[in-house]
């Protein structure tokens, strides 16, 4: 018999982990762009909360997750302030590669939590998986737009949304096979993050659009 309190606690932990991972990813991007303190907090906040907020709007969940856990806002501000101080003192220059690893972790965690929350509302599997994809990708899209970049999820050609999509289906199919929801949640997160890491390490890219005239 499923203990709903265990699943709820695990979902909260997953969301916290994903929020911090995406906040760190956004912070690195803002630092690379040499934004000021307000810009760093804004970009990190969009990365951390953007996807979850859109998910909550679409699922009609109130209050929004960052309103229900307002202490996360303080954690974000402290993370930004601490990271800015550390980067300046250590003269550490964030690279695009450095932000890929927390981004991959956040991708898996948010795709799994978004999918699970939608399944909890008894939505069809495909809808739940797409909710997971939205949760995992929309924050990154927002912070890239604010930083005047084509969203990384669309331009680097390494699987990104595809990883979230596949991870979501692992979660759905695992639950349908009778796997405990807590275990299925972790399997889905690990699949999405693992596929993203493998793609980055091997250099695998998705096929690019070709008009048939390229190279002419």
pLDDT of residue 187: 92
The helices-and-strands tally (H runs, E runs) of the chain is 9, 0
How far is C-alpha 84 from the geometric centre of its chain's CA atoms?
22
* Residue 64 pLDDT greater than 90, yes or no: no
Average pLDDT for 41-69: 86
pLDDT band at 74 (very low <50, low <70, confident <90, very high): confident
Average pLDDT over residues 157-174: 90
How distant is the alpha carbon of residue 137 from its chain centre?
Answer: 6
- Grade residue 108 by pLDDT with cuts at 50, 70 and 90: confident
Q: What is the pLDDT of residues 172-204, one digit of tens each?
A: 999 999 888 889 988 999 999 999 989 888 887
**How many C-beta atoms surround the C-beta of residue 80 within 10 A?**
24
Report DSSP letters for 119-183, one per residue.
HHTT--HHHHHHHHHHHHHHHHHHHHHHTT---HHHHS-S-SHHHHHHHHHHHHHHHHTT--HHH
CA 172 to chain centre: 18
Q: What is the chain's mean pLDDT, rounded?
A: 82
């Amino acid at each position: 018999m499923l203990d709903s309190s265990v699943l709820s606690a695990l979902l909260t932990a997953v969301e916290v982990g994903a929020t911090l991972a995406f906040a760190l990813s956004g912070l690195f991007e803002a630092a690379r762009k040499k934004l000021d303190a307000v810009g760093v907090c804004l970009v990190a906040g969009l990365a951390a909360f953007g996807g979850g907020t859109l998910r909550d709007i679409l699922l009609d969940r109130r209050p929004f997750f960052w309103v229900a856990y307002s202490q996360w806002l303080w954690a974000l501000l402290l993370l930004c302030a601490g990271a800015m101080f550390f980067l300046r003192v250590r003269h550490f220059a964030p690279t695009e590669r450095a932000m890929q690893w927390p981004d991959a972790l956040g991708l898996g965690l948010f795709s799994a939590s978004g999918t699970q929350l939608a399944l909890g509302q008894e939505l069809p599997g495909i809808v739940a998986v797409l909710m997971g994809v939205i949760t995992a990708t929309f924050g990154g899209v927002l912070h890239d737009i604010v930083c005047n970049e084509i969203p990384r999820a669309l331009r680097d050609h390494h699987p990104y949304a595809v990883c979230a999509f596949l991870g979501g289906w692992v979660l759905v199919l695992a639950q349908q096979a009778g796997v405990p929801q807590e275990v299925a949640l972790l399997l889905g997160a690990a699949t999405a993050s693992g596929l993203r890491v493998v793609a980055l390490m091997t250099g695998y890219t998705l096929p690019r659009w070709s008009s048939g005239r390229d190279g002419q």
